Amino acid sequence: MTATVPTSPALVTAQSRSRFLGAIYAGNSRAILGRGLLATRTSNYWVVLSGFFEPVLYLLSLGIGLGSLIGTVTTSTGQQVPYAAYIAPALLAVSAMNGAIYDSTWNVFFKMNYGKLYEGMLATSIGPFDVALGEIAFALLRGLLYAVGFMIVMQVFGLNLAWTAILALPAVVLIAFGFASLGMAITSYMKTFQQMDWINFVMLPMFIFSATFYPITVYPPIMQYIIEALPLWHGVELIRGLTTGALSWGLLWHVLYFAVMITIGLIFTTKRLRALFLA
Partner 1 sequence: MPEAVITASLLTKKYKDFAAVDGISFEVAPGESFGLLGPNGAGKSTTMRMVGAVSTRTSGDLSILGLDPNEHGPEIRAQLGVVPQADNLDQELRVRDNLIVYGRYFGIPRRQVAKRADELLEFAQLSDRAKSRVDDLSGGMKRRLTIARALVNDPRILLLDEPTTGLDPQARHILWDRLFRLKEQGTTLVLTTHYMDEAEQLCDRLVVVDKGTIMAEGSPAALIKQYSTREVVEVRFGSEKNANVAKQLKGIGDRVEVLPDRILIYSDNGEAELSEIIRRGLNPITSLVRRSSLEDVFLRLTGRSLIE
Q: Which residues bind partner 1 (CB under 8 A)?
A: 1-8, 11-15, 22-23, 26, 28, 31-32, 34-35, 38-39, 42-44, 115-117, 119-127, 277-279
Name residue 139's amino acid. Answer: A
Q: Which is nearer to partner 1, 23 or 148 (CB)?
A: 23
Strand partners, 74: 80
Residue 168 Cβ, how far from partner 1 at the closest point, in Å? 32
Residue 130 Cβ, how far from partner 1 at the closest point, in Å? 8
Q: Which is nearer to partner 1, 117 or 185 (CB)?
A: 117
Please provide residue 82's backbone torsions phi and psi, each rounded to the nearest 5 degrees: -60, 150
Q: Which helix (H) or strand (E) holds 145?
A: helix 128-156
The secondary structure of 62-128 as a DSSP string is IIIIIHHHH-EEE-TTS-EEEHHHHHHHHHHHHHHHHHHHHIIIIIHHHHHHTS-HHHHHTTTT--H
Q: Which is nearer to partner 1, 121 or 174 (CB)?
A: 121
Contact 90, 239 (CB under 8 A): yes
Residue 37 Cβ, how far from partner 1 at the closest point, in Å? 10
Q: Which is nearer to partner 1, 8 or 248 (CB)?
A: 8
Q: Which is nearer to partner 1, 90 or 122 (CB)?
A: 122
Residue 125 Cβ, how far from partner 1 at the closest point, in Å? 4
Residue 33 Cβ, how far from partner 1 at the closest point, in Å? 10
Strand partners, 80: 74
